[in-house]
Amino acid sequence: IVQIEDDRTATSVEALKRAILDNLYYIVGTTQANASNQEFFAAVAYTVRDRILARWFATLACYKQQDVRVVCYLSAEFLMGPHLANNLLNLDLEEPIRQAVAELGRDLGVIEEQESEPGLGNGGLGRLAACYLDSMATLGVPAIGYGIRYEFGIFSQQIRDGWQVELTDYWLRYGNPWEIRHPHEAVEVGYGGRTEGWTDSTGRYRVRWVPASVVRGVPYNTPIVGYRSGIANDLRLWRSESTESFYFDRFNSGDYQGAVAGKTFAENISKVLYPNDEEIQGKELRLQQQYFFTSCALQDMIRLHLRAGRQIDTFHEKWAIQLNDTHPSIGVAELMRLLVDEHGLDWEKAWEITSNTFSYTNHTLLPEALERWPRPMFASILPRHLEIINEINARFLSEVRKHFDGDEARVSRMSIIDEHGEKFVRMANLACVGSYRVNGVAALHTELLKKEVLRDFYELWPEKFINVTNGVTPRRWLAVSNPEQSALMTRRVGNGWLNNLDELKQLEGLAEDAAFRAEWRRVQHDVKVRLTNYILEATGISVDPSSMFDVLVKRIHEYKRQHLKVLHILTLYFRLKRKPNLEMAPRTFLFGGKAAPGYAMAKLIIKLINSVAEVVNTDPDVKHRLKVVFLPDYDVSLGQKVYPAADLSEQISTAGKEASGTGNMKFAMNGALTIGTLDGANIEIRDAVGHENFFLFGLTADQVQSTLAQGYRPRAIYESNPFLREVIDSISSGQFSHRDQNLFRPLLDQLLNSDPYLLFADYQSYIDCQDRVTEIYRDQEQWSRMAILNAARMGKFSSDRSIREYSENIWRVAAITLC
């Protein structure tokens, strides 16, 4: 028998070469000689995608055959990062593709750099969704990710004259080889209009919604390949388009302008990601987006459910819907509408299904980030949903009254409608009422939810509340981004850690092995050289790879306290100014992160960092012992370069403000030591790696509360601490702003007069702790011991562990193995 190698599935180097050239010629439409690296990337991506399709279909067939319960992860954001390197790892194709690409005269590293990342998220919440998709595919949890295929993702950031400038992110410019459009599975989504009553053939009174406009949602599927699991799940992102009928009806009747306006309305819905995290603005388009993808998702699930020959009343047995924050929580009302209005179920049955389908993950404790919509706006966009919410609310509040007789203050706090003054729909309340589980994302966060933000709901339904501490995927965040350290670890303990991160525990003993520590440092140095080259290219700044890399990368926010880091840098700077010959181990301070375009204070913090950098980096007294770098356009790809090279991870939020943090996990997995507050998952990381291997400072969440309650006076701290005063005075004097004494005034005034995030209260504790960091860093052997123990003890923070907990405690789904 002659074995014929199929050019779309075979994985020998020869077959891969033929396949790449084929795709280059027939799909991309160019020749090997003429192809740009960008075109060559597309051909490689198609070649990899071809090798995914068979297992993709097999996975779906297997789910169908085993009639499993499917998890639907609903999220307004999926911050996937580039797919190629991750898919190569998970499919075990890295080496043959590398060789095939090399034999065709290109370098795989260069080709991988061509991929423009789908930045369809702001930060933590969107990236968490991506890590969870990776773990679900790896563990064999049947899952579909549902979201929006934004045409423009998070803006790309430039720094001009120290200020952030936003540029649109047209990530689809060169096409997207990973997605497949499925127009046959399109659905329609309505907006506005009115509701009307009617009587059905059985004499029952029914309500129907007559929307004023209808848009079409078209799904685009991207395969999510598990790590060597043979499984590929679906990420289904919806694009909004105009329906021909809407467009042509108007067009035919001569209303050209109306036709174009309708088309514009429809196409705008999936046009752009809102770049605010942790702050809501109540924009109509945002509500339209949320309803759009949530309705598309629910219609898709119902279609799949019925197509499998099942009855609508078993819906909750086959689908578990996870709400990634309140952004898709309109789904509670939409599922009720679909079941009652469209499928004719009675209210009680529909509610039983709905309230056994949804679970809700909360990601924030900041009051300004709790979503609420003005009732008039809500009524004009979703009139039928408001009626349904009123009915849900009436029934719910009567239950509250039964439990807490006479406690009308509680009733009004728990109401889904905020009845005070201008009325609002409270989405977190809707999500709590409509879900059978509510979870926080770290132990402290869940406790604070129960004690504060959602206390009333916890008192009514304590059994609903559980904690699932976040996790991150060790595939992308260790294996893909830090191949050098991964190889070192695999040489010592095998590669089992890739799907069981606890196996790195075996490295603990090696912390006492001087030869291993030396190897560890050699690897770390190589990785830092890699980042050093990037920094030079991206910013023109040359940094010393043997200096300590002290890194703070995350969205810019006052509660995350990037400006506290600046106070530390300036404290060191003035020590050097006083004593230019002071012995000080060199440090490189790396910042990265985007500010929401409308968040003036965050933008001013970026300007402050760059202004300080300008002075400190060029001051001859500093003698290059301090280097401050703001890395522009921090995104997933840049994160992959930064985390592995960090020596020190800065996790310095005001205690009680950061729900979990996930960057903290990526750093520690890569062997960075953390300096941090007792906030979010920092607490659990410290417990896992050992208190002696973690640099702790600052007030606790309780102390923060009591400090504020007792009438906090930041100015008193400023007046009594000469070092702090020197730093603050230098900024207000214009020393870092070309003598302009007004530039940073808003920032300084706020710190001196209210300081809501308690920078001054934590200042001295932070400085003292940083001095301990410096002390220990001088002992490189000790530092390496601690770094190795950090990396070895991060097993708990694999997203595989998080997904197992969701599967067991919330979704009640079993992982499958391929049939």
| Residues labelled catalytic | 363, 554-555, 560, 662, 666
Instruction: Find the binder of ligand 26Q among 89, 381, 382, 659 (CB under 6 A).
Output: 659
Piece of 119-127, 160-168, 624-632, 749-757 that binds ligand 26Q (CB under 6 A)? 119-127
Degrees (nearest 5) of the Cα angle 289, 141, 637?
A: 60
Closest separation in Å from C-beta 279 to ligand 26Q: 7
Cβ distance to ligand 26Q smaller for residue 223 or 656? 656
Cβ distance to ligand 26Q smaller for residue 236 or 327? 327
Assess 441 for contact with ligand 26Q (CB under 6 A): yes
Please list every residue from 456 through 515 that binds ligand 26Q, using CB under 6 A.
470
Give the closest residue to 301 by CA, choosing from 357, 340, 222, 232.
357
3-class DSSP assignment, residue 427: helix
Cβ distance to ligand 26Q smaller for residue 241 or 325? 325
Assess 556 for contact with ligand 26Q (CB under 6 A): no
Tokens 């191949």 -> residue: 483
Do residues 424 and 375 make contact, with C-beta atoms less than 8 angstroms apart? yes
Instruction: Find the binder of ligand 26Q among 467, 660, 677, 807 (CB under 6 A).
Output: 660
CA dihedral of residues 347, 351, 353, 355 (deg, nearest 10): 170
Cβ distance to ligand 26Q smaller for residue 659 or 683? 659
- For residue 306 the two structure tokens come to 């019925």
Closest separation in Å from C-beta 476 to ligand 26Q: 16
Assess 707 for contact with ligand 26Q (CB under 6 A): no
3-class DSSP assignment, residue 325: coil
Assess 225 for contact with ligand 26Q (CB under 6 A): no
Instruction: Find the binder of ligand 26Q among 45, 111, 125, 731 (CB under 6 A).
Output: 125
Cβ distance to ligand 26Q smaller for residue 277 or 755? 277
Assess 75 for contact with ligand 26Q (CB under 6 A): no
- One-letter amino acid identity for 676? G
Piece of 88-96, 172-180, 272-280, 694-702 that binds ligand 26Q (CB under 6 A)? 272-280
- For residue 532 the two structure tokens come to 């050093």
Piece of 93-101, 107-115, 124-132, 626-634 that binds ligand 26Q (CB under 6 A)? 124-132
Assess 128 for contact with ligand 26Q (CB under 6 A): yes
The DSSP code sequence of 69-108 is -EEEEE-S-EE---SHHHHHHHHT-HHHHHHHHHHTT--H
Closest separation in Å from C-beta 274 to ligand 26Q: 4
Report CA-CA distances (Å) from 109 to 85, 172, 319, 522, 644: 9, 21, 40, 22, 17
Instruction: Find the binder of ligand 26Q among 219, 223, 661, 671 (CB under 6 A).
Output: 661
Instruction: Find the binder of ligand 26Q among 276, 356, 707, 730 (CB under 6 A).
Output: 276
Cβ distance to ligand 26Q smaller for residue 117 or 277? 277
| Angstrom distance (rounded) from CA 364 to CA 593 | 19
Instruction: Find the binder of ligand 26Q among 234, 658, 755, 800 (CB under 6 A).
Output: 658
| Angstrom distance (rounded) from CA 222 to CA 522 | 39
Degrees (nearest 5) of the Cα angle 541, 546, 547?
A: 65
Closest separation in Å from C-beta 369 to ligand 26Q: 6
Instruction: Find the binder of ligand 26Q among 123, 145, 217, 795 (CB under 6 A).
Output: 123
Site string for ligand 26Q, 744-763 (x = CB under 6 A): --------------------
Backbone angles phi, psi at 475, to 5 degrees: -70, -60
Assess 331 for contact with ligand 26Q (CB under 6 A): no
The DSSP code sequence of 629-645 is EEESS--HHHHHHHGGG
**Residue closest to ligand 26Q, measured at CB:** 124
As a three-state string, the secondary structure of 340-356 is HHHCCCCHHHHHHHHCC
Instruction: Find the binder of ligand 26Q among 277, 635, 650, 800 (CB under 6 A).
Output: 277
741, containing H or E segment? none
Closest separation in Å from C-beta 802 to ligand 26Q: 10
Do residues 187 and 181 make contact, with C-beta atoms less than 8 angstroms apart? no
- One-letter amino acid identity for 74? L
Give the closest residue to 80 by CA, choosing from 165, 22, 137, 1.
137
Closest separation in Å from C-beta 547 to ligand 26Q: 29
- Cβ neighbors of 156 (< 8 A, separation 6 or more) are 119, 166, 167, 168, 169, 633, 635
Cβ distance to ligand 26Q smaller for residue 653 or 790? 653
Longest dimension (CA), the chain: 92
Q: Name the burial class of residue 412, with classes exposed (0-12), middle (13-18) and buried (19+) by CB atoms within 10 angstroms of its CB.
A: middle
Give the closest residue to 441 by CA, choosing from 325, 569, 284.
325
Instruction: Find the binder of ligand 26Q among 151, 234, 241, 278 (CB under 6 A).
Output: 278
Closest separation in Å from C-beta 362 to ligand 26Q: 9
Q: Residue 2 has what DSSP assignment?
A: P
Closest separation in Å from C-beta 564 to ligand 26Q: 17
| Angstrom distance (rounded) from CA 208 to CA 690 | 60
Assess 274 for contact with ligand 26Q (CB under 6 A): yes
CA dihedral of residues 701, 705, 706, 711 (deg, nearest 10): 140
Instruction: Find the binder of ligand 26Q among 47, 122, 299, 429 (CB under 6 A).
Output: 122
3-class DSSP assignment, residue 615: helix
Tokens 């050209």 -> residue: 256
Handedness of CA 466, 469, 470, 471 (dihedral sign): negative
Closest separation in Å from C-beta 147 to ligand 26Q: 12
Cβ distance to ligand 26Q smaller for residue 271 or 286? 286
Degrees (nearest 5) of the Cα angle 176, 327, 173?
A: 20
- How many residues in the shown chain lie near ligand 26Q by CB under 6 A? 23
Instruction: Find the binder of ligand 26Q among 371, 456, 635, 762 (CB under 6 A).
Output: 371
Closest separation in Å from C-beta 755 to ligand 26Q: 21
| Angstrom distance (rounded) from CA 234 to CA 146 | 9
Assess 554 for contact with ligand 26Q (CB under 6 A): no
Cβ distance to ligand 26Q smaller for residue 143 or 748? 143
Cβ distance to ligand 26Q smaller for residue 468 or 789? 468
Site string for ligand 26Q, 339-368 (x = CB under 6 A): ------------------------xx----
- One-letter amino acid identity for 267? E
Do residues 438 and 432 make contact, with C-beta atoms less than 8 angstroms apart? yes
- For the chain, the C-alpha Rg in angstroms (whole number) is 27
Beta strands in 309-443 (DSSP E): 319-324, 358-361, 372-374, 417-418, 424-426, 435-440
Instruction: Find the binder of ligand 26Q among 217, 434, 680, 714 (CB under 6 A).
Output: 680
Cβ distance to ligand 26Q smaller for residue 647 or 658? 658
Cβ distance to ligand 26Q smaller for residue 202 or 281? 281
Closest separation in Å from C-beta 546 to ligand 26Q: 32
Instruction: Find the binder of ligand 26Q among 82, 119, 124, 145 (CB under 6 A).
Output: 124
Piece of 122-130, 374-382, 412-420, 501-509 that binds ligand 26Q (CB under 6 A)? 122-130
| Angstrom distance (rounded) from CA 134 to CA 128 | 10
Closest separation in Å from C-beta 756 to ligand 26Q: 17
Closest separation in Å from C-beta 635 to ligand 26Q: 14
Do residues 615 and 570 make contact, with C-beta atoms less than 8 angstroms apart? no
| Angstrom distance (rounded) from CA 49 to CA 55 | 11
Cβ distance to ligand 26Q smaller for residue 588 or 799? 799
Q: Which residues bind ligand 26Q (CB under 6 A)?
A: 122-125, 128, 274, 276-278, 280, 286, 363-364, 369, 371, 441, 470, 658-662, 680
